[in-house]
């Protein structure tokens, strides 16, 4: 390859490197953190499910958990459907709406 061809490829390489560091790498980091959260869930953790329901974990198995969504109402949930883990002591985020 001659120098002119390398100069023409340089912007494409620069764009790919920029996209990797701005998009791909942060997403991989978030996915690893989420997987670590899912692996660390334990009984009595409060979780937010992907459908928006909030419940307390009552039993943990390898691929699923039992979540209490109301008093005496336990539903099995696949672990991958847990969107967020709020441990027992974590406060809920403040509501921005005025009462």
pLDDT, position 45: 94
pLDDT, position 1: 62
pLDDT confidence of 2, banded at 50, 70, 90? Answer: confident
pLDDT, position 46: 94
Query: d(Cα 35, Cα 31) in Å, to the nearest integer?
Result: 6
pLDDT confidence of 19, banded at 50, 70, 90? Answer: very high
What does residue 9 show for φ and ψ, rounded to 5 degrees? -80, -20
Dihedral of CA atoms 62, 68, 69, 71 in degrees, nearest 10, equals: 170
Question: pLDDT per residue over 20-57, tens digit each?
Answer: 999 999 999 999 999 999 999 999 999 999 999 999 99
Stretch 73-98: mean pLDDT, rounded? 78
Long-range contacts of 35-41 (CB under 8 A, 24+ apart): 37/82, 37/84, 37/85, 38/79, 38/80, 38/82, 38/85, 40/85, 41/65, 41/79, 41/82, 41/85
Dihedral of CA atoms 47, 49, 52, 56 in degrees, nearest 10, equals: -40
What does residue 85 show for φ and ψ, rounded to 5 degrees? -110, 120
Query: d(Cα 44, Cα 55) in Å, to the nearest integer?
Result: 9
Percent of residues, the chain, with pLDDT higher than 70: 87
């Amino acid at each position: 390859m001659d120098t002119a061809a390398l100069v023409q490829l340089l912007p494409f390489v620069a764009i790919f490197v920029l996209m990797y560091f701005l998009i791909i790498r942060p997403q991989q980091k978030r996915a690893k953190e989420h997987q670590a959260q899912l692996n660390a869930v334990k009984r009595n953790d409060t979780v937010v499910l992907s459908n928006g329901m909030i419940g307390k974990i009552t039993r943990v198995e390898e691929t699923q958990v039992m979540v209490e969504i109301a008093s005496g109402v336990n539903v099995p949930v696949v672990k991958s459907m847990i969107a967020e883990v709020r441990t027992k002591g974590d406060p809920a985020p403040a509501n921005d709406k005025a009462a």
